Amino acid sequence: MVHEHLDQKMVNALLGDGRASLRSLAEELDVSVTTISNHLSALEDEGVIEGYTPKINYDECGYDVTAIIQLRVEGHALPEVTEALREHRQMISVYEVTGDHDIIAIGKFKDTDGMNDQIKSILSDPDISASNTSVVLNAVTENEQFELDVPEDD
């Protein structure tokens, strides 16, 4: 029996429980454990599934200050600045963007002093020509993943 859209259904099941066993996935999706194992290996090899990790609530760990940092950077230095930001362990996201700024970085900090120290360190780069930092007052939703669309079987 051909199971259409098995990969999408498997990804969605793993979003619900990233620690699900192959056997439980097979039962839920009505396929063999071997089929699940083969499809899961293929999804990992293709980079669709990049890894399995706990979902951390940084606020509960004391990192309750979130800053959104917008930077304007000299074009030639974009790769170096984004790499330097990526290497800051508290930068949870770094994006190259269109618009008035070239980079948007999101960082988590224990307090505003720690945030200020890191931002001053970042802004010491002479290739950064302008910056704007916003402190998040309320994270309405954060780090959410969404289920993949699964077309209905005919």
Domain containing 80 equals 58-135
What single DSSP character describes residue 124?
T
Q: Is residue 51 part of a domain?
A: no
What are the b/e assignments for 9-37, b being 16+ CB within 10 Å?
bbbbbbeeeeebeeeebbeebebeeebbe
Q: Is residue 107 part of a domain?
A: yes
Residue 120 is encoded by which pair of tokens? 């001053």
pLDDT score, position 53: 87
In this structure, the answer to whether residues 92 and 24 fall within a common structural domain is no
Confidence grade of residue 33 (pLDDT, cut at 50, 70, 90) = very high
In this structure, the answer to whether residues 74 and 100 fall within a common structural domain is yes
CA torsion sign for 134, 118, 87, 78 is positive
pTM: 0.81
Mean confidence (pLDDT) of the chain: 92
